[in-house]
Structure 1
Amino acid sequence: MNTSIDLRGLLPGELAELAATLGVEPYRGRQLFRWLHRRLATSLAVMTDLPADFRERLAEKAFLLPVKVMDRRVADGGLTRKLLLSLVDGELIECVLMIYDEGRRRLTACLSSQVGCAMGCTFCATGQSGFRRNLTTGEIILQALALMEEVRREMPDARLSNIVFMGMGEPLLNYRAVIKAARIFEHPDGWGISHRRITVSTCGLVPQIKRLAGEKPPLELAVSLHAATNELRERLMPINRRYPLEELIPACRHYGRVTGRRITFEYALIDGLNDRRRDARRLVELLRGVPAFVNLIPLNPIPGDPFRGTNRAKARMFASWLEEHGLAAAVRESRGRDIAAACGQLRAEAHREVF
């Protein structure tokens, strides 16, 4: 590719500066931002209120990544949609759209931040595939665009209401691109998604959690916990050797104190491993003093995984054990089991078919 500027990865001020360097008024950059992130334009040609010569000069200096869908899966009566996208260098990433009709329609996009992942969590298909590279801000935004193109065929007025960085990769290892994408998503001239509806997930990178606490306005934080002891967490999540619970939990407490936000702790329930009453007691004790909500997820198994997910009846019982001791918890609705919805599964399938 001869050009070097990905337009979707720029904030309004940056687009205004680009417009000025190309000899037009800076407000043209803000117009461009609205075309990209409110009208979801996929080409410069449709931006008919921008001067033609400005668009020509833009085409020489910048580019718009194409949406290239390699595979799509639909489940739950159309309420869950998963896409496998091909990037310009041939790498594959996944994104998921979850639609909730609970009186008011809510559309949540689950986006990837990396190609693969270096964290090596034992029950995660992405972690087993290894790390390839970080995504650019534009590639992160591209996923949301692809999901909206998919759903607007049936719901022309659909708008994203929530963003969760919970797809492939560790978002806080791609900190700058993820935070910039979040600022683009929340901008009122574009996607207009409240920062209270943008969640960044992490497996527990303590320095980055502390850094994230200083971002203004603050974003929602989700921490993949999955165990209440170092011994078990190290078995499931190698990152715990570097940042054990004695460091992670105080960092979370700091985040809650600085931002005033409750932290979501993701806890994948694994049959016979972390779903017993004593595990619930340990979890209550671990999170004492932390503004916490526990999101219980019966494990979504992946091929070759020795672990089995806890059944939903026991998952609800585990939630009741936590709530008995004042720890807010809920069992997350399982989505997309029949379409390889766990992170990395669809990409893994594609690689098996190719190789």
Structure 2
Amino acid sequence: MKMSLQTLTPERQAAPAQSAFPAKPSLLGMDRSALAAALGSIGVPERQQRMRVAQLWHWIYLRGASSFEAMGNVGKDLRESLAENFTLARPEIVSEQVSVDGTRKWLFRFPAEGAGRPVEVETVYIPEEGRGTLCVSSQVGCTLNCTFCHTGTQKLVRNLTAGEIVSQILMARERIGDFPDLATPQGAIVPSEGRLVSNIVMMGMGEPLYNFDNVRDALLIAADGEGLSLSKRRITLSTSGVVPEIARTGDEIGCMLAISLHAVRDDLRDEIVPINRKWPLAELLHACRNYPGLSNARRITFEYVMLKGVNDSLAEARELVQLLKGIPAKINLIPFNPWPASPYECSDWDQIELFAEVVNRAGYASPIRTPRGRDIFAACGQLKSASERMKKREREAVSAVAAGA
């Protein structure tokens, strides 16, 4: 079954951000000790806190409750106290688009932090037979300026909190009916069996390792066996090469690692992945070779976007396998996904297949990633939120008010 591009109509969109996000701290993203402290702050006796934390954890992450009222085994007085002091509010859905291939992209709006303004991020769901992969954002915008990536053209606005990262998972599962009490929405394209969100990839907007603490806390909640319960082998964090945080990722998160490589020489990688000027290939690959838990069962994925006439020669394919020699690895070849004003073209398909053949002959798995969601700009490297446009509209509105004063 195929679905055409669609966007939420105004009546299906959530309420404006001001009403969707009361000025209360959110319990989303808190670990158990923080939840216990929150309960203590509203008078829950210490002897009860462990039990109450278990109840909250069950309802929020296993059952997908978005309100305290839904928590049937929590006393009415405590539910009312929780609602008065805290929130479980999830982001506002600004838009929801569905590709002809079933890929689903949401534009989520989060509340202002302090004196800031609301911000928006994009999250993508990719359904495949037997699994469903959710591509999650870690920042609003990005600082890396990779020249082939649309997200890199949006300036960094701020890091997302652990709660905002987790809430992308909760919202996606709610929208596709992946909680036990929720039915699959009519028309949703999802796997025919198994969990609908079975894999998480930190490959959305932003560099996850520039927001390490919040990403770590969110992913540990995602992997918690009493809640979202995703296997750490089904959680992949992708970095462009923040070398000092790579070992911490293995030690403190224990998830699978992906490296946005895209070039086999420092001079070219300096140009298309500018973070390479700070941590060049030799340092990056040294960190990969020493990644905690690295083995043939826990290979590192190296991502390589195919740019016509830039990095796609067969000589570079041979250099690539020499560069990765001795590292248990898989090499994902990613056909470049175009975006407005991009200076690049995708490599010809025949050239991609010849490149893959060189890599395969060297003993590396080298799947060619099928582009998904191109028609809704949901494919790899195409994400960019409307936060900058919001900022521009706000400035224009202020100017208009001032002009009329």
User: How is 1:82-121 mapped onto 2 (pairs within 5 angstroms)?
Assistant: 82-89=105-112, 90-101=118-129, 105-121=130-146
| CA deviation vs aligned residue, 1:79-131 (integer Å, no higher than 9, x gap) | x1000011112211000001111xxx211110000000011111111111110
TM-score, length basis structure 1 = 0.92
Among candidates 152, 160, 164, match of residue 139 of structure 1: 164
User: How is 1:293-312 mapped onto 2 (pairs within 5 angstroms)?
Assistant: 293-312=330-349
Among candidates 218, 222, 226, match of residue 181 of structure 1: 218
Separation in structure 2 between the aligned mates of residue 223 and residue 331 of structure 1, nearest angstrom: 16
Name the residue aligned to 1:190: 227
Name the residue aligned to 2:181: none
Correspondence 1:234 to 2:270: yes
Decide which moves more: 233-242 or 158-167: 158-167
Name the residue aligned to 1:29: 53
Q: Secondary structure at the match of 2:165?
A: helix
Identify, as 1 or 2, the structure richer in strand. Answer: 1
How far is 1:74 from its partner?
Answer: 0.7
| CA deviation vs aligned residue, 1:237-270 (integer Å, no higher than 9, x gap) | 1100000001111111111x64432100010000
Separation in structure 1 between the aligned mates of residue 255 and residue 85 of structure 2, nearest angstrom: 33
Separation in structure 2 between the aligned mates of residue 191 and residue 311 of structure 1, nearest angstrom: 41
What residue identity is the alignment partner of 1:71? S
Task: Confirm or deny: 8 A CA contact 1:3 1:61 kept in the other structure.
Answer: no
What residue identity is the alignment partner of 1:122? T
Separation in structure 2 between the aligned mates of residue 150 and residue 354 of structure 1, nearest angstrom: 30
Among candidates 358, 378, 385, match of residue 347 of structure 1: 385
Cα separation, partners in 2 of 1:348 and 1:276, compared to 1, 3 Å: farther
What residue identity is the alignment partner of 1:136? T
Separation in structure 2 between the aligned mates of residue 272 and residue 77 of structure 1, nearest angstrom: 29
| CA deviation vs aligned residue, 1:27-47 (integer Å, no higher than 9, x gap) | 111111111111111111111
Looking at CA atoms only, which structure, 1 or 2, has the larger radius of gyration? 2
Separation in structure 2 between the aligned mates of residue 203 and residue 348 of structure 1, nearest angstrom: 23
User: How is 1:272-351 mapped onto 2 (pairs within 5 angstroms)?
Assistant: 272-342=309-379, 343=381, 345-348=383-386, 351=389
Correspondence 1:64 to 2:102: no
How far is 1:213 from its partner?
Answer: 2.6
Separation in structure 2 between the aligned mates of residue 353 and residue 20 of structure 1, nearest angstrom: 39
Correspondence 1:81 to 2:100: no
Number of residue pairs matched? 349
Decide which moves more: 157-166 or 82-91: 157-166
Correspondence 1:42 to 2:66: yes
Separation in structure 2 between the aligned mates of residue 283 and residue 219 of structure 1, nearest angstrom: 24
Cα separation, partners in 2 of 1:298 and 1:2, compared to 1, 3 Å: closer
Decide which moves more: 133-142 or 45-54: 45-54
Correspondence 1:206 to 2:243: yes
How far is 1:68 from its partner?
Answer: 0.9
TM-score, length basis structure 2 = 0.81
Separation in structure 2 between the aligned mates of residue 175 and residue 298 of structure 1, nearest angstrom: 29
Separation in structure 2 between the aligned mates of residue 47 and residue 292 of structure 1, nearest angstrom: 45
What residue identity is the alignment partner of 2:68? L
Q: Report the identity percentage.
A: 40
Correspondence 1:52 to 2:76: yes
What residue identity is the alignment partner of 2:147? T
Q: Secondary structure at the match of 1:304?
A: coil
Separation in structure 2 between the aligned mates of residue 77 and residue 269 of structure 1, nearest angstrom: 22
Task: Confirm or deny: 8 A CA contact 1:300 1:309 kept in the other structure.
Answer: yes
Separation in structure 2 between the aligned mates of residue 19 and residue 258 of structure 1, nearest angstrom: 37
Cα separation, partners in 2 of 1:263 and 1:280, compared to 1, 3 Å: same
